[in-house]
C-alpha cells in the first residue's frame, strides 16, 4: 500500500466516527449531512497538514476537485446522490493515488456487503427497532453512505496494518 501506516493510524480515530455517523444518517434519512462532509474535509485539512509532506498534501488536495467534478457529472446523470458525490470528494484526499486499484476492490466488496446486509435487515426484526428509517421504503434506492463510509474506514484500517 502507498499510504503510510502512520498517516492511516492518525487519520483513523478522527475519520471513523464521522463515517459511522454518515452511514447511520444516510440509512435514517437518505441524506448525508453537509456538516459531516465539511467535518471530514476539515479533518484532512488539519491532520493532513501536520502529518503529510507538503508536496503530497498539495497533490491530495487535487483529489478533492477531481472527485467532486466526477461526482457532479454522475449526480447530473442521476447515478448518485449529491451527498454521495460530496462525501466522496471529501474522502478522496485520504486515499493515496497508488492505492486506487485497492480502493476500488474494497469499495466493490463493501458495496455488495452493505447492500446485502441492508436488504436482509429490511426484512428482519432489526427493522422493528428502527421502523422510521427512510431507507427501508425507498425501493431500489440505497443509502450509499453506508458503503462509502465503510470503504474509507476499511481502507484506513488496512493502511494502518499494511501501509508503508
Read off the pTM.
0.94
Please report, for residues 12, 82, 83, 162, the alpha-carbon distance to residue 37 in angstroms, rounded to integers and kept in the order given. Answer: 16, 11, 8, 27
The whole-number pLDDT of residue 156 equals: 98
The whole-number pLDDT of residue 138 equals: 84
Query: Average pLDDT by consecutive 10-residue portion of the chain (164 residues)?
Result: 96 98 96 97 97 95 97 96 96 96 97 95 90 88 94 98 95
Amino acid at each position: 500500500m502507498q499510504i503510510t501506516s502512520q498517516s492511516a493510524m492518525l487519520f483513523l480515530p478522527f475519520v471513523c466516527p464521522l463515517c459511522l455517523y454518515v452511514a447511520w444518517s444516510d440509512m435514517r434519512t437518505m441524506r448525508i449531512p453537509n456538516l459531516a462532509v465539511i467535518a471530514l474535509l476539515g479533518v484532512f485539512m488539519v491532520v493532513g497538514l501536520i502529518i503529510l509532506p507538503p508536496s503530497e498534501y498539495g497533490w491530495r488536495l487535487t483529489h478533492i476537485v477531481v472527485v467532486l467534478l466526477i461526482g457532479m457529472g454522475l449526480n447530473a446523470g442521476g447515478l448518485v446522490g449529491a451527498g454521495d458525490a460530496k462525501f466522496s470528494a471529501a474522502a478522496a484526499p485520504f486515499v493515496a493515488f497508488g492505492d486506487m486499484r485497492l480502493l476500488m476492490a474494497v469499495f466493490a466488496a463493501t458495496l455488495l456487503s452493505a447492500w446485502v446486509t441492508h436488504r436482509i435487515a429490511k426484512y428482519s426484526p432489526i427493522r422493528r427497532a428502527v421502523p422510521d428509517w427512510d431507507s427501508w421504503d425507498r425501493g431500489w434506492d440505497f443509502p450509499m453512505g453506508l458503503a462509502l463510509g465503510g470503504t474509507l474506514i476499511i481502507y484506513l484500517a488496512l493502511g494502518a496494518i499494511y501501509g508503508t
